[in-house]
Amino acid sequence: MRLNYTFPNIPQMKGFSVDVENVGDKLISKAHGSKALIFGPLFKLYFAYHGNKRLKALMKTEEGNIYSLYLPPMPSRAHVRHMETIIRNLLFKETRPLAATIGVTSRCQLECAHCSAASSSRVGLELSKTEIENVIQESVDIGVTNITFTGGEPLLRKDIEELVAAVARRDTVALIFTNALALDEKKALALKEAGLTAVFISLDSSDPAEHDRLRGRNGLFLSVKEGVKNAIRAGLAVCLSTYATNESVRDKKLSQITALAADWGVHEISVFDAIPTGRMIHNEEIMLTKESHLAILKEARELNRRYNGRLRIVTQSWTNTRSGLAIIIGCLAGHFQFHITPTGEFTPCDFTPLSFGNVRTNSVGNLWQKVIEHSAYRHHCQKCRMQMSSFREKYINPISPDAHLPYPIAMIDSHEGCAGVKKQGSCNF
Ligand code: SF4
């Protein structure tokens, strides 16, 4: 596939374009126009990095090569939009989001103790299909190129295929997090048909009995295995989503999950840190130690080398520590990403139980602006805010254990007596 990338919305890049073609694992680019000498080398470097021996394509689809499930396939229209948002942020100092997670239902067949969506977010009327479609359009309008449906369990929504299609027809990548219980052959095919790119399936352990115990449902592990098979057969990319605890890092559980994932033909593994949120909001003892962050980073690096492009492991420790890519990526909240709960509350990320308002009474663009202008989010933060004691002391600890989540940040600010005006660029916690 060959695609011509142009950026008509960036005045400084008018007259510049670049042809991008996928040839096997690689991407070949050729710049055109009067500004080819200025911008061409940057694009050449970027595209040449994809498909080299350290970043092989995980999957080749009609939409383009997939190098990570966090990036749109390349070349694709979604990726043109992705590049536009990146350029506006990096070269022209704008702050536009790339990714949105949207909770489409609070309902779930399971009651996992570690669920980040748990607690009183289940109170209130869920967003309707029309409301979610509006949210999708408003998110795309401010730059989002990657929309992930979460829950609860998103597959419990009867209109999930229509929601996926609403994302895909806007040149945006649609992804779903699922526990796989409802991911049968028919559902996987229907989602692919609607335009879904990938499923993220939760797996807490490579040991069937342990996974079932942690999620309180016998036979769940088998559903995960079946769900992976059905998704791959349907042509979807598959990521296993798991989380790291100090114990799992010590026991090298990631290596065991990776062996299983390779055997099942999974494309990527996403490892989140155990974060005190949801039902565990005040259980800070679950947080990873510095040693665990470094250990999982090392284990993931070794595994990525060993599996050599057959599948990829992406850890939160890689994005949030200086030994990884924290200088560029860091905390995604209010930087690249936001979250909307099933009842429309707008939060900086799906792990942060702080509401900046509701999409029923405010636009996505205004709510995003509120986040990036708030003193807690107006600077780039290299670490996960939800794991920083200074952030938690100020914004999380004051939340009562029985409060409805997400909690309005305005209530915390009003207690503080300062709605947060600190110098831009400085870290205020
Ligand atoms: S607070 Fe930042 S780093 Fe932590 S989970 Fe949210 S987005 Fe990710």
Per-residue model confidence (pLDDT) at position 54: 74
Best residue among 331, 346, 388 to mutate for probing ligand 1's pocket (most ligand atoms within 8 Å of CB) is: 331
Q: Is the CB of 339 under 6 A from ligand 1?
A: no
377 lines ligand 1 (CB under 6 A): no
- Ligand 1 pocket member 320 (CB < 6 A): yes
Distance CA 156, CA 73 (A): 27
Distance in angstroms (rounded) separating the CA atoms of residues 302 and 315: 13
Q: Which has the closest alpha carbon to 364: 151, 137, 34?
A: 137
**By the 8 A CB rule, do 336 and 380 touch?**
no
Residue 333 Cβ < 6 Å to ligand 1: yes
Pocket probe for ligand 1: among 317, 321, 352, the residue whose CB has the most ligand atoms within 8 Å is: 352
Taking CA atoms only, the protein residue closest to ligand 1 atom 4 is 384
What is the 231 CA–ligand 1 centroid distance (Å)?
Answer: 28
Measured from the Cα of 330, ligand 1's closest atom is 3
DSSP state, residue 426: -
Q: How far is the CA of 96 from the centre of ligand 1 (A)?
A: 17
Ligand 1: atom nearest CA of 383 is: 3
> Using a 6 Å cutoff on CB, does residue 376 contact ligand 1?
no
Tokens of 285: 């003892």
Residue 352 Cβ contacting ligand 1 at under 6 Å:
yes
pLDDT in tens, 412-428: 998 754 433 333 333 44
Measured between alpha carbons, how far apart are the two ends of the chain, in Å? 48
Q: Whose CA is nearest to atom 6 of ligand 1?
A: 349
Residue 331 CA to ligand 1 center (angstroms) comes to 5
Q: Give the separation between CA 152 and CA 235, rounded to whole angstroms.
A: 25
Query: By alpha-carbon position, which residue is closest to atom 2 of ligand 1?
Result: 331
Report the C-alpha gap between 221 and 201 in whole angstroms: 11
- The predicted model scores a pTM of 0.93
Ligand 1 center to 385 CA (angstroms): 6
Query: Could you read off the pLDDT tens digit of each residue along the chain, which spans 429 residues?
Result: 999 999 999 999 999 999 999 999 999 999 999 999 999 999 999 999 998 777 889 999 988 999 999 999 999 999 999 999 999 998 888 999 999 999 999 999 988 777 777 655 556 899 999 999 999 999 999 999 999 999 899 999 999 999 999 999 999 999 999 999 999 999 999 999 999 999 999 999 999 999 999 999 999 999 999 999 999 999 999 999 999 999 999 999 999 999 999 999 999 999 999 999 988 888 999 999 999 999 999 999 999 999 988 899 999 988 888 877 888 889 999 999 999 999 999 999 999 999 999 999 999 999 999 999 999 999 989 999 999 999 999 999 999 988 889 999 999 998 754 433 333 333 444
Task: Please give the number of the atom of ligand 1 that sits closest to the Cα of 332.
Answer: 7
Query: For residue 1, which of 39, 45, 46, 57 has the smallest C-alpha distance?
Result: 57
Per the CB < 8 A criterion, the answer to whether 242 and 269 are in contact is yes
Nearest one of 57, 70, 79, 54 to 200, comparing CA atoms:
70
CA separation for the pair 282, 276 (Å, rounded):
6
Cα dihedral across residues 109, 337, 173, 170: positive or negative = positive
CA 97–ligand 1 middle distance (angstroms) = 14
Rounded CA separation 178/224 (Å): 9
Sign of CA dihedral 184, 155, 164, 265: negative
Burial of 365 (0-12, 13-18, 19+ CB in 10 A): middle
Pocket test for ligand 1, best of 332, 371, 383, 395 (most atoms within 8 A of CB): 332
208-215 and 220-234 helices cross at what angle (nearest 10)?
100
| 19-69 confidence digits (pLDDT tens) | 999 999 999 999 999 999 999 999 999 999 998 777 889 999 988 999 999
Which ligand 1 atom lies nearest to the CA of residue 337? 7
Q: Which atom of ligand 1 is nearest to the CA of 272?
A: 5
Give yes or no for residue 371 CB within 6 A of ligand 1: no
The Cα 318–Cα 344 span in angstroms is: 30
Distance 413 CA to ligand 1 centre (A): 20
In 10 A of CB 39, how many CB atoms? Answer: 19
Q: Is the CB of residue 152 less than 8 Å from the CB of residue 164?
A: no
Question: What pLDDT does 354 receive?
Answer: 97
Q: How far is CA 110 from CA 185, 202, 405, in A?
A: 21, 12, 19
287 touches 387 (CB < 8 A): yes
CB of 332 closer than 6 angstroms to any ligand 1 atom:
yes
- Provide the pLDDT for residue 419: 39
Atom of ligand 1 nearest to the CA of 381: 2
